[in-house]
Structure 1
Amino acid sequence: MTVAAFAPDGVPEVRAGDDLATLLLAALAPGDELADGDVVVVTSKAVSKAEGRVVDGDRAEHLAAETARVVARRGPTTIVRTRHGLTLAAAGIDNSNVAQGRAVLLPLDPDRSARRLREALHARTGRTIGVILTDTAGRAWREGQTDIAIGAAGVLVAEDFGGRVDGYGNELAVTAPAVADEIAGLAELAQGKLGGRPFAIVRGRGDLVLAPGVDGPGAAALVRGDGADLFGFGAREAVVRAVRGAAADRAPFGRPAEPEEVAEALTAALGVEVAHIDDDTLAVPATWARLADVVAFAFGWEPVGASAEDADHQIHRVTP
């Protein structure tokens, strides 16, 4: 299999109201015309500029409005979960490749933007293509950044190998390559960060492109639900949120854990014996009540009302 990516030069500065389909088609050289099965990749910044998402001011001035919740802070860096469900530094707000004193916000609905571009390109070329919108993101435990798909239309965003068997006869259980992200990374190699090439064409994976009129679930399907991720808060933030114990902070800690797991955590943290009252209730010595409540919150449990005279302090599994 051969997969190739190329990015056309000569695309002018994108401005509010520009037609991205017109800009792309005008930039394609003879012989590089779109073909069935191509995937058109476009930076979210180009889409945002065309959709009028360029604002005055810097990141800090617009961060709160673009944030669903803060995941972690380290010095000047703030990692947030955006309204789209994406987890990005500064909510993906960017002040590069834009006039000084201005910033670019992410598109309001990246999947919708991808669908519109796909429809426009199909109407003008008759070609069956996919479209992916990209943005740059860091990765936990990895230095550097790479481009990921934040919007998609007409393209399979993830392959499912679950239930298939490899060459050694081993059944694959949870193997699901995020092919839209892989295409985004490949396209960025051709585009470059400073080349002024907001578009790329990825050719050779027509098997991922969906039929005309079938847009698929979009890149939103790649967003893991709040609470389903193992890293809903940064390490420091998780401690603070567990100590605070606010109901609004429960979701990022995930679904309630099983009693055996909670009991093990309580023993490790407090060094005391944990009593199993029933499948949904545990008890520790009342002198450890406050610390037990912190551990309980992190594991999706909560204290049971008790009087100051009780010898034991009980915690109960929260009903989802």
Structure 2
Amino acid sequence: MVVPTFNVWGVTGIPEISRGDDLVAVIADAIAGMGPEHALGNGDILVVTSKIVSKAEGRQVPAADREKAIADDTVRVVAERVHPGGVTRIVETKQGMIMAAAGLDMSNVPEGFALKLPEDPDRSARMLCEGLRARFGVELGVVVTDTVGRPWRVGQTDLAIGAAGLQLTDDLRGANDANGRPLHVTMAVVADELAGAGDLVKGKTSGIPVAVVRGMGRLVQGLDAPGARSLVRTGDDDMFRFGSAEAYRLGYEAAMAEMKAKTTSQARPKGQKQD
């Protein structure tokens, strides 16, 4: 009997990243320095923290410009809450993510600076994937991750904001469960599961921004595979597409319209028909 399993380990020896650094070379050199027992093979998947991608791409901004940076990267405000420390805004970013403060981060960056998300995480993932495949001569996948909160769960977890060379979901719709019942809606987002697995060995305080997942080679595909942006719900598929302020306004306008219609109907003389 084959026992399903996979392994995950952190890539050590990656230095502090600065604007213009060649991430492919930095990551490849760190992996090579870990010895032959950690050499990459076909089917391996690299889980890369978006923070080092942003640093290499020069996405740092002065902390004093934080609010402007958030506004620049915001498509719409989903929700906001006033608290003693200020205002927390949950927004949709240009990258399609729903995140607090547009994903702007002030941890693990130099004092006085904040860090924006990569401009195009899928493009960044493709560049890493293509470069690392060429460097090591193996077929591998890349996930670029960031940490987010969930609206109905405490705390945060990592998920995929960029991906390349990877199957992102296990679509089980139409298959049968272990009891023979048909599955109608089950679609496992394996890209996010890989992001969470990688974070278990990367962490937030260890200084390890890259992890390797081995044993999930069935998910590795060509570089033309869809990126993580394809996972974002849009239009009618987004069941929470209205922010709290929008929902309040739409509800208010609907109630006022209903009240006006009712008042007009009651004011109409008996026997008078509506045109």
Shorter-chain TM-score bucket reads 0.7 to 0.9
1:194-233: CA deviation from partner (whole Å, max 9, x where unpaired): 111111101110000004xx33111011100044222223
The answer to whether the 8 Å contact 2:28/2:135 transfers is no
2:18 is the counterpart of 1:7 = no
CA-to-aligned-CA distance 1:46-78 (integer Å, 9 cap, x gap): 101001111112532311100000000011210
| CA RMSD, Structure 1 to Structure 2 (Å) | 2.6
Shift, 1:240, TM fit = 2.7
Cα deviations across residues 233-281 of structure 1 (Å, max 9, x unaligned)? Answer: 35x4244331575xxxxxxxxxxxxxxxxxxxx9xx89xxxxxxxxxxx
Residue type at the aligned position of 2:212: I
Taking the TM superposition and a 5 Å limit, the aligned residue runs for 1:276-287 are: 286-287=261-262
Partner of 2:248: 240
Gaps of 5+ in 2: none
Q: Which residue of 1 aligns with 2:51?
A: 45
In the alignment of these two chains, the number of paired residues is: 260
Note the residue ranges of structure 1 that are not aligned, 5 or more in a row.
246-265, 271-282, 290-305, 315-320
User: Paired residue for 2:94, among 83, 91, 108?
Assistant: 83
Superposed, which structure 2 residues align to 1:2-81 within 5 Å? 2-28=5-31, 29-30=34-35, 31-58=37-64, 59-75=66-82, 76-81=87-92
What is the match of residue 193 of structure 1? 204
Distance 2:188 2:134 in 1: 31
CA shift in 2, pair 1:239/1:121, >3 Å: closer
Percentage identity across paired residues of the two chains: 47
For 2:145 and 2:79, locate their aligned partners in 1 and report how far apart those are by CA, in whole Å.
23
Partner of 1:98: 109
Within the candidate set 179, 183, 194, 2:190 is matched to: 179
* Counterpart AA for 2:250: A
Q: Spell out structure 1 runs of 4+ moving beyond 2 A.
A: 236-241, 283-289, 308-312
Q: Distance in 2 between matches of 1:200 and 1:145?
A: 19
Which residue identity does 2:226 align to in structure 1?
P
TM-score (norm 1): 0.75
Mark the CA change 1:239 to 1:122 in structure 2 (over 3 Å): closer, same or farther: closer
